[in-house]
Amino acid sequence: MRVLFVRLSAMGDLVQSLGAMQALRAARPDWPIQVCTQSTLAPLLEQQPGAWTVIAHDRRGGLRALLATRRRLRELGCEVAVDLQGNWKSALLARLAGAPVVGAAARWRQEPTSSWLLGRRLAIAGPRHPALVAATLVQALAPEAIVQRPRLFATEAEVQAAARTVALLGIEAARPFRVVVVSNPADPRALRPTRLAELANGQPTLLLAGPAEEHVQWSVAVPTWRQRPGELRRLVGLGVMVHRLGGDVVGPDQGATHVLAACGASTTVLFGPQDPARTAPPAVTVLQRRELPPCAPCGRRVCHHPDGPVCMDFGIADGAVTPLPPWLRSP
């Protein structure tokens, strides 16, 4: 049976959904897998073992892009379409494939009324977490599918390219080192700049900054790897390199942290305003401030606490480990 998965965004959510897709691939190796995602994220799915087809949708291309994606989806001849995202756009693209559409019921969707476009609606035994939603939908197709942590793969050339970049930044590329994922301090999810030095903790450390932080500077004497748009394969190469060397990753609950964790790197995620039961990556260590403010958890992009994002003002040494829900403890 040909199965189409639709997961357009965001980067971390796509990665978290990948474990279920890979489980279906393992359980039913004769079923070709098709994944429709936005073009900027499509490179993440390269190097997947087995028969995978990635349909890159230009989300900024308007009606012309929508029709082009529809044509490609129809050409695939899928027998079932799985809406992993749960909004109007993902449900519409799944419907345009011309196959019966399966998705989460309204209560577990980003846009509940989009469930009208589904042919089959499934309840989720827990919160609307991307990994749990994907696992539920996949196991409805193949009950024997065993969902584990998602995995991203890099070529040897990509790993060696990452090693050369790390060496140019002054870090010995043959020994373990730490990657600290940094982002704009204005984001309430970001690690606090005053805590970056203690996260390095005297060990070889690399700051990882994304395209949105192109002009942001940090007042710590730590080399910075600056990720530019269109370079997701470099990020995967770095993650696989860190995993092989036995290094580790520390970061907030943001896309780059999820990608590095899916490359196999030992990862600690510092959570502040978000609820780990809804967004934590699988098989990581989750730390939170021991005393969260009354306004937590929240999903705001701008902090409304009178003292700013105090929920992120902690480090590894003084953070409290938050147990992961059962569906995130996969090996």
132-167 pLDDT tens trace: 999 999 999 999 999 989 999 999 999 999 999 999
Per-residue pLDDT, averaged over 212-234, amounts to: 92
Q: Are 260 and 15 in contact (CB under 8 A)?
A: no
**What DSSP string describes 245-270?**
HT-EEEEESSHHHHHHHHTT-EEEEE
Chain centroid offset of residue 295 CA: 25
- 48-76, pLDDT tens digit by residue? 998 899 999 999 999 999 999 999 999 99
Biggest CA–CA distance in the chain, Å, is 56
Q: Is the pLDDT of residue 95 over 90?
A: yes
A 10 A CB-CB count for 214 gives 11
- CA 133 to CA 309: how far, in whole Å? 29
Q: In which residue ranges of the chain is CATH 3.40.50.2000 found?
A: 3-141, 156-328
CATH topology for 156-328? Answer: Rossmann fold (3.40.50)
**Of 149, 154, 151, 156, nearest in space to 233 by CA:** 154
Chain centroid offset of residue 318 CA: 26
Per the structure block, which two tokens stand in for 321?
């480990």
CATH superfamily membership of 3-141: Glycogen Phosphorylase B; (3.40.50.2000)
pLDDT recorded at residue 219: 85
- CA 245 to CA 86: how far, in whole Å? 38
pTM of the complete model: 0.96
- CA 329 to CA 94: how far, in whole Å? 30
> If you search the block for the tokens 């995202």, which residue do you land on?
85
pLDDT recorded at residue 46: 95
